[in-house]
Amino acid sequence: MSELANLDWGNLPFDYIRTDYNVRCYWKDGKWGELEVNSSEQVTMHMGATVLHYGQEAFEGLKAFRGKDNKIRLFRWEENAKRMQNSCNGILMPEIPTELFKKAVFKVIKLNERFVPPYGKGASLYIRPFIFGTGYGVGVKPSNEYLFIVFVSPVGPYFKTGFNPVNMLLVKNFDRAAPLGTGNIKVGGNYAAGLKAMKFAKAGGFANVIFLDSKEKKYIDECGPANFFGIKNGTYITPKSESILPSITNKSLEKLAEHLGYKIERRKVPLDELSEFEEVGACGTAAVITPIGKIVIQDTGKEFVYTNGEPGKITKELYTNLLGVQTGDIPDEFGWVTILD
Ligand SMILES: Cc1ncc(COP(=O)(O)O)c(C=O)c1O
């Protein structure tokens, strides 16, 4: 193995840090080309590219971890490949074949191996595959050319405060996605649509925002860039909605919770149920689990308080177990982890 990069591993931000290489693949004339290695951070394209005008872009986010044994472990990459195919289909971009996705992701990690953080620093390598329309035109139509890139960045914890409860604002006058829109795929437009709500919440001192379903305004939907879960009476409950992103972390937590002896319910979660939960949290690749200490309802100012400043017992148990599997501290009974050669 090459020597590790000279970084302050214990104090990495959750942000972009330049590494040595990215990998790229062009789609032209109806087919994918060869995977190319690039050391430039720049992309040059026509100013009329569909990504710049009509938002033809989709992305993924996954993590690789270095274990105690120094081996690099990649978590559930096939799930990200599948979800990216759904995203591409959703906005009429060519699917990235699973084999190409795998080759690109594994190659970019290998090429940047010295940036995979050492074990025990609370850090990991964040992998960002993305695809966008580079073909140009003026009328609204899908591009005839695309570029798929994967870059990586070593990252520290998502929140500076670490695994501690945060406060969330439940908004009523912002929607992130429509029921039959693009909320269930990972396309850039969803994130642009959520920026104003996020800014509003952050200005009020909240960590992020919880959206209600945009049709009836009755049910918990997405929780910033994460899925929501609540725990009551030994049951892990998470929203079923056609406008939220199927979170791979959430799916994994459901399996782990079941394995640990809890019941699972994936169903509509009415706003009124917030008063019944014993623990609540948000889950996603970036933060794994963000325990929620308090939810404030935007229009009424009504508050739901869940903790005394500490993450709940079951939340903590799920967090430790998931991170343990990801880093290799706990045996991977589900076949979620791929060890890189
Ligand atoms: C809107 C949204 N919901 C949920 C998630 C969590 O998904 P995952 O656990 O696959 O990272 C993410 C992050 O990818 C997201 O952006």
Do residue 113 and residue 46 come from a single domain?
A: yes
Is residue 337 included in any domain, yes or no?
no
Do residue 142 and residue 231 come from a single domain?
A: no
Output the CA angle 152-224-262, nearest 5 degrees. Answer: 95
Contact in structure between 269 and 220 (CB atoms under 8 Å)? yes
Helix residue spans in the chain (DSSP H): 50-54, 77-90, 98-111, 188-203, 248-259, 313-327
Residue type, 53: H
Q: Is 227 in the pocket of ligand 1 (CB under 6 A)?
A: yes
Decide if 186 is catalytic.
yes
Please identify, among 155, 187, 215, the residue that sits at the C-terminal boundary of a domain: 155
Do residue 96 and residue 213 come from a single domain?
A: no
Do residue 133 and residue 187 come from a single domain?
A: no
Taking the CA of residue 286 as reference, the ligand 1 atom at the shortest distance is: 11
Helix residue spans in 204-336 (DSSP H): 248-259, 313-327
Q: Give the separation between CA 240 and CA 30, rounded to whole angstroms.
A: 36
Is residue 161 included in any domain, yes or no?
no
Q: What is the pLDDT of residue 307?
A: 87
Do residue 141 and residue 176 come from a single domain?
A: no
Do residue 103 and residue 142 come from a single domain?
A: yes
Tally of domains in the chain: 2
Do residue 118 and residue 210 come from a single domain?
A: no
Is residue 3 included in any domain, yes or no?
no
Which of 127, 155, 249 to probe ligand 1 with, by most ligand atoms within 8 A of CB? 249
Q: Give the separation between CA 179 and CA 83, rounded to whole angstroms.
A: 18
Do residue 97 and residue 224 come from a single domain?
A: no
pLDDT tens digits for the chain (341 residues)?
Answer: 569 999 999 999 999 999 999 999 999 999 999 999 999 999 999 999 999 999 999 999 999 999 999 999 999 999 999 999 999 999 999 999 999 999 999 999 999 999 999 999 999 999 999 999 999 999 999 999 999 999 999 999 887 777 899 999 999 999 999 999 999 999 999 999 999 999 999 999 999 999 999 999 999 999 999 999 999 999 999 999 999 999 999 999 999 999 999 999 999 999 999 999 999 999 999 989 999 999 999 999 999 999 888 999 999 999 999 999 999 999 999 999 999 98
State the distance from the centre of ligand 1 to the C-alpha of 1, rounded, in angstroms.
32
Q: What is the pLDDT of residue 23?
A: 99
Do residue 111 and residue 211 come from a single domain?
A: no
Which of 82, 238, 245 to probe ligand 1 with, by most ligand atoms within 8 A of CB? 245
Is residue 284 included in any domain, yes or no?
yes
Do residue 177 and residue 319 come from a single domain?
A: yes
Q: Is 61 in the pocket of ligand 1 (CB under 6 A)?
A: yes
The CATH number assigned to the domain holding 267 equals 3.20.10.10
Q: Is 165 in the pocket of ligand 1 (CB under 6 A)?
A: no
Do residue 309 and residue 198 come from a single domain?
A: yes
Q: Give the separation between CA 271 and CA 218, rounded to whole angstroms.
A: 6
State the distance from the centre of ligand 1 to the C-alpha of 186, rounded, in angstroms.
8
Is residue 334 included in any domain, yes or no?
no
Please identify, among 120, 155, 190, the residue that sits at the C-terminal boundary of a domain: 155
Which phi and psi angles does 142 have, rounded to 5°? -65, 150
The CATH number assigned to the domain holding 69 equals 3.30.470.10
Please identify, among 155, 176, 194, the residue that sits at the C-terminal boundary of a domain: 155
Catalytic residue, candidates 186, 199, 218, 268: 186
Is residue 322 included in any domain, yes or no?
yes
Pairing of strands 235-239, 263-267: parallel
What are the start-end ranges of the E strands in 156-267?
166-171, 208-212, 220-223, 227-232, 235-239, 263-267
Which among 231, 222, 221, 277 has a CA at the least distance from the CA of 254? 231
Q: Give the separation between CA 234 and CA 251, rounded to whole angstroms.
A: 17
Do residue 72 and residue 114 come from a single domain?
A: yes
Domain that holds residue 57: 9-155
Q: Is 62 in the pocket of ligand 1 (CB under 6 A)?
A: no
Is residue 80 included in any domain, yes or no?
yes
Is residue 232 included in any domain, yes or no?
yes
State the distance from the centre of ligand 1 to the C-alpha of 176, rounded, in angstroms.
14
Q: What is the pLDDT of residue 1?
A: 56
Q: What is the pLDDT of residue 309?
A: 86
Q: Is 269 in the pocket of ligand 1 (CB under 6 A)?
A: no
